[in-house]
Each structure stands twice: as structure tokens, then as C-alpha cells.
Amino acid sequence: MADTNSRAHQGNDSAVPSSQGARALARVLISGYVDAYALLNFGVYASFMTGNTTSGGAHAGQGNLAAAGHSLLPIPFFMAGIVGGTLLVQADRQRALRRISVAVALMLALGVARAYLAWPAWLGIVFLSSSMGLLNTSVTQVGGQPVSLGFMTGDLNNLAQHISQAILRAPVSRAQGPRDTHWRRAALLTSLWAFFFVGAILGAALSSRLALWTLLLPAGLLVLLAAIEPAGS
């Protein structure tokens, strides 16, 4: 009986990271998609604040303060999105993922409205950077592995760390079970990077084909994800 319970517990342990991983992969695909759209249409990143900071600094160093301000504009709104998402998670963890998904979908829909109604471009930057900050709080961990959805530098750093630790055969810190290895975590982080990359490809490719309606695709996907999210998860 004890052995049966142990096997069942291990099965549950592996199922939880799998569902968390699927949630993360779907949303990191959207992050890459929206980031590419923002770069092509506004010349800034919606989620890669390091790139915006570098661009802003480079422009400022050349005395182009208007361009510097344009590059730095996403940063406070990205941070505001993170603050809002964190507060949503703390207020109601069971329904936070659904609420964040719907909120991000609505903000992307506002991005579509901005394009259709020819509102100022800076509003598009505000909508997209805020939405990506919000989305970044939706899935922050898969099993025992912290993840980031909107910026790949941290994930790639963790990926390289796990590879080195696997080579050294070091134990996994706070392992979630016997299947939780450095190679398994490295595979997860590699998948996140790959999905972000594919999302960026799709965002760029569809931006020229769907034009004003490009952001409806990730908005619709988020609504679908919210609708199929199990209750209480």
C-alpha cells in the first residue's frame, strides 16, 4: 500500500510541472509574438526592457533625447503591469491566472482598436508594454524552476547553469522528485526559449499579412486559455 501511494504521489508530482509547463509555453509564445509586433511597429520592445534601456542610453549619448524618451517609454508601463499582476495574484491565487489572461487579452484588443482608429503610436506602446508586464506575472515557476516569460536572458542564464551542474553531477536544489534533474530543467528552459523565438517569427510574419488585426490572434488565444483553465488552479 505504501509503495502504491508513493507511485501515485510521484505521478502527481510529474503532472503538476507538466501542466505548469504547458501554461508557460503558451504564454511565452505570446510574449515573443507581441514583442516582435511592437519592435516592427513602434521600434521598441514590449517585454525586453534591457533592449529598451540600451537603446535609450545610446540615443541619449548621441544627444537625441526625443528618441531616448521613446525607447524608455515602455519601462514604467511594463513595471506597472507587473505591479498590477502581482496584486492580482496576491488577492486571489486560485483565479489569478484566468483574470490575468483575460486582462492581457483586453489590453491587446485595445492595441487593435488603437491601430484601427489611428490613435497615437505611444498609446500602442503603453497598451503592449503594460500587457506584457502583466503577462509576466501569470506563470513564474514550473515545478521547482523559476521562469520568466518576457525576457530570455534570465532563462538562458539558468539553462547554462543547469548544464554546468549536470556535467558536475551536482544535486538539484529543492528537487521535486526523482525525475527532477538538471537536464530536465535545462530542457524546459530550452523549450521556453524556442517557443519565444517561434512566437517572434509568427509575430513578424503575420504582422505584414494581418496588418491591423495582428494582435487579435494572441488575444483570442489568451481568452481560450482562460476558458479552459481548470477551476481553482
The pLDDT of residue 9 is above 70: no
pLDDT tens digits for 121-151? 999 999 999 999 999 999 999 999 999 998 8
What pLDDT was estimated at residue 8?
Answer: 39
Q: Say how many C-beta atoms besides its own lie within 10 A of residue 67's C-beta.
A: 16
Nearest-angstrom CA–CA distance, 228 and 95: 12
DSSP H or E run through 115: helix 93-117
Helix (DSSP H) and strand (DSSP E) numbers for the chain: 9, 2
Taking the model in full, what pTM does it have? 0.91
Q: Which residues, at least 6 apart from 128, have a Cβ–Cβ distance to it below 8 Å? A: 34, 37, 38, 42, 46, 74, 107, 108, 111
- pLDDT tier for residue 21 given thresholds of 50, 70 and 90: very high
